[in-house]
Structure 1
Amino acid sequence: MLKKVKLTGRIVTPSDPDYEQARINNNLSIAKFPSKIVFCQNAKDVVNALRWVREKNEPFRIRSGRHSYENYSLVNEGVVIDVSDMNHISINVADMTARIEAGADLGKVYRELWESGMTIPAGTESSVGVVGLTLGGGIGMLSRQFGLTCDNLLEIEMVGASGHLGAELLKANNHLNSDLFWASCGGGGGNFGIVTALTFKLHAISDVSIFSITWGWEDFEVAFDAWQKWAPYTDERLTSQLELKSKEVGEIVAQGEFVGSAHELKKLLRPLRKTGSPTSVWIKEVPYIKAVRFFDVPSGNVPALRKRSGSFIEKPFPHAAIRRMKAFLANAPNRNAEIWQQSLRGAVSQVAPNRSAYFYRNALIAQEYLTTWEKPQEENQNIQWIEDLRRALSPYTAGDYVNFPDHYIKDWPSAYYGRNFRRLREVKTKYDPFNVFHFPQSIPPVRKWI
Structure 2
Amino acid sequence: MVDILAQNRRKAGTRLTGRIVRPGNPSYRTARLEFNRRFSKFPRVIVFCRRTEDVIHAVKWARERGVRLRVRSGRHSYEGFSSVNGGMIIDVSEMNKVKVDRKRMIAHVQTGNPLARVYRKLWEKRVALPAGTAPDVGVGGLALGGGIGLLSRKYGLTCDNLQQVKMVVASGRFGAKTIMANKKKHSDLLWASRGGGGGNFGVATAYTFRIRPIKTVSIYSITWRWRDLEKVFPAWQRWAPSVTNRLTSTIEVASRQVGTIESTGQLLGSASELQRLIRPLLRSGTPVKVMVRTVPFIEATRFFAAADLNLEPKFKITGAYGFQPLPREGVQIIREFLSKAPNRHSSVWCQSLGGAGSAVSRVSPTATAYPHRKAETIYELSARWRNDDEQLRNIRWVKRFRRALHPFVKGDYVNFPDLQIKNWPKAYYGVNFARLKQVKQKYDPHNVFRFAQSIPVK
Q: Shorter-chain-normalised TM-score: which range?
A: over 0.9
What is the CA–CA distance in structure 2 between the aligned matches of 1:248 and 1:11, rounded to whole Å? Answer: 45
- Counterparts of 2:185 and 2:227, CA distance in 1: 55
Q: Distance in 1 between matches of 2:347 and 2:119?
A: 27
Aligned equivalents of 1:255, 1:279: Cα separation in 2: 14
Paired position in structure 2 for 1:209 = 218
Amino acid at match of 1:339: V
The match for 1:173 among 179, 182, 189 is 182
Query: How big is each residue's C-alpha offset from its partner over 1:295-314, in whole Å with a ceiling of 9 and x where there is no partner?
Result: 00364576711111110001
2:224 is paired with a residue of what secondary structure?
A: strand
Q: Per the alignment, do residues 250 and 391 of structure 1 end up closer, same or farther by CA in structure 2, a change over 3 Å counting?
A: same
Structure 1 counterpart of 2:382: 370
Letter in 1 for 2:272: H
Asked if structure 2 preserves the Cα contact closer than 8 Å seen for 1:26 and 1:302, the reply is no
DSSP 3-state at the match of 1:341:
strand
Write the deviation string for residues 151-193 of structure 1: whole angstroms up to 9, x where unpaired.
0011000000111111010100112100010000000000000
User: Are residues 1:289 and 2:293 paired?
Assistant: no
Query: Aligned to 2:104, which of 95, 108, 115?
Result: 95
Match of 1:261 in 2: 270
- 1:74 aligns to 2:83 (yes or no): yes
**Segment drifting more, 330-339 vs 300-309:** 300-309
1:69, 1:116 → 2: CA distance?
33
> Tell me, what secondary structure is at the counterpart of 1:297?
helix
Which residue in the other structure is 1:150 paired with? 159
In structure 2, list runs of 5 or more residues that go unmatched: none
CA distance in 2 between partners of 1:365 and 1:221 (Å): 18
Q: Which residue of 1 aligns with 2:281?
A: 272
Q: Deviations over 1:274-322 (max 9, x none)?
A: 1111111120000001100000036457671111111000111100000
Report the Cα distance in structure 2 between the residues aligned to 1:287 and 1:298, rounded to whole angstroms: 18
2:245 corresponds in structure 1 to: 236
Count the aligned residue pairs: 446
2:93–2:113 Cα contact (<8 Å) kept: yes
1:313 is matched with: 322
Identical residues among aligned pairs (%): 50
Is it true that 1:437 corresponds to 2:455 in the alignment? no
Normalization by structure 2: what TM-score?
A: 0.96
Residues in 2 aligned to 1:175 and 1:422: alpha-carbon distance in whole angstroms: 22
Q: Rate the CA distance shift 1:25–1:257 in 2: closer, same or farther, 3 A.
A: same
CA contact (8 A) 2:115 2:139 kept: yes
Judge conservation of contact 2:312–2:345 (CA < 8 Å) in 1. no
Q: Which amino acid aligns with 2:74?
A: G
Give 3-state SS (helix, strand or coil) of 2:361's partner: helix
**1:33 and 2:45 are equivalent in the alignment:** no
Q: Which residue is 2:401 aligned to?
A: 389
Letter in 1 for 2:454: S
Separation in structure 2 between the aligned mates of residue 101 and residue 218 of structure 1, nearest angstrom: 46
Is residue 2:177 matched to residue 1:194?
Answer: no
Task: Go from structure 1 to structure 2 and tell me whether the alpha carbon gap of 1:397 and 1:37 turns closer, same or farther (over 3 Å shift).
Answer: same
Q: Secondary structure at the match of 1:442?
A: coil
Q: What is the CA deviation profile of residues 112-138 of structure 1, one whole-angstrom value per residue up to 9, with x for unaligned ones?
A: 000100010000010000000000000
Q: Which amino acid aligns with 1:55?
A: E
Q: Secondary structure at the residue paired with 2:324? A: coil
Q: Does the 8 A contact of 1:25 with 1:303 survive in 2?
A: no
1:349 matched to 2:358? The reply is no
Q: Distance in 2 between matches of 1:30 and 1:222?
A: 39
Say whether residues 1:18 and 2:27 are aligned partners.
Answer: yes
AA matched with 1:5: T
Q: In the TM superposition, what is the alpha-carbon distance from 1:445 to its structure 2 partner?
A: 1.2
Which amino acid is the alignment partner of residue 247 of structure 1? R
Q: Secondary structure at the match of 2:41?
A: coil
Correspondence for 1:407: 419
Equivalent residues in 2 for 1:121-132, closer than 5 Å: 121-132=130-141
Which one of 429, 433, 437 corresponds to residue 417 of structure 1?
Answer: 429
Give the distance between the partners of 1:237 and 1:101, measured in 2 at CA: 28
Deviations 1:326-346 (A, max 9, x none): 110000011110000000011
Q: Is the 8 A contact 2:312 2:386 kept in 1?
A: no
SS of 1:348's partner is: coil
- How far is 1:259 from its partner? 0.6
Counterpart CA distance in 2 for 1:166 and 1:293 is 42
Question: Is contact 1:159–1:168 with CA below 8 Å preserved after alignment?
Answer: yes
Which deviates more from structure 2 when the two are superposed, residues 302-311 or residues 12-21? 302-311
Any stretches of 5+ residues in structure 1 without a counterpart?
Answer: none
Comparing 290-299 with 39-48, greater Cα deviation is found at 290-299
TM, length-normalised to structure 1 = 0.98
Matches within 5 A, 1:111-130: 111-130=120-139
Is contact 2:312–2:384 with CA below 8 Å preserved after alignment? no
Aligned twin of 1:49: 58
The Cα shift of 1:35 comes to 1.1
CA distance in 1, matches of 2:176, 2:213: 38
State how far apart, in whole Å, the 2-side matches of 1:300 and 1:11 are: 30
